[in-house]
Amino acid sequence: AQSVAQPEDQVNVAEGNPLTVKCTYSVSGNPYLFWYVQYPNRGLQFLLKYITGDNLVKGSYGFEAEFNKSQTSFHLKKPSALVSDSALYFCAVRDMYSSASKIIFGSGTRLSIRP
């Protein structure tokens, strides 16, 4: 069974500093990995995904994530945080060889950027 873990409920960062939101995954086959952001009272917005290829994936709003197969991790990063980045971030995984195509989400990490 596939699963994804986000060990931090909340991450606090000062504006202008780099940020990292952690994610580890578990799948039986090769993973599709995703990051989504959710603003208050809104649906999900896609940030980026890893399917294959370069381990460093660049996405929307200056975010990037690094796929590390040996550590089964897919941490989200940004070199310089903005106050507007404050939101709820979800890591998600889909088993590449699963016919069900369903995406499983982590528990979410609330990112708070202070001015």
Partner 1 sequence: GAVVSQHPSWVICKSGTSVKIECRSLDFQATTMFWYRQFPKQSLMLMATSNEGSKATYEQGVEKDKFLINHASLTLSTLTVTSAHPEDSSFYICSALRTSNRGNTIYFGEGSWLTVV
Which residue from 33, 90, 93, 111 is in contact with partner 1, where contact means CB under 8 A?
A: 90
Residue 89 is which amino acid? Y
CB 107 within 8 A of CB 8: no
Nearer to partner 1, 15 or 22 (CB): 22
* Binding-site string for partner 1 from residue 32 to residue 51, where x marks contact by CB under 8 A and - marks none: ----x----xxxx-x----x
CA distance 37 to 44: 6
**70 lies in the binding site for partner 1 (CB under 8 A):** no
Which residue, among 96, 105, 75, 91, has the nearest Cα to 30 in the 3D structure? 96
CB 73 within 8 A of CB 24: yes
Nearer to partner 1, 78 or 94 (CB): 94
Q: Which residues bind partner 1 (CB under 8 A)?
A: 36, 41-44, 46, 51, 90, 94, 100-108
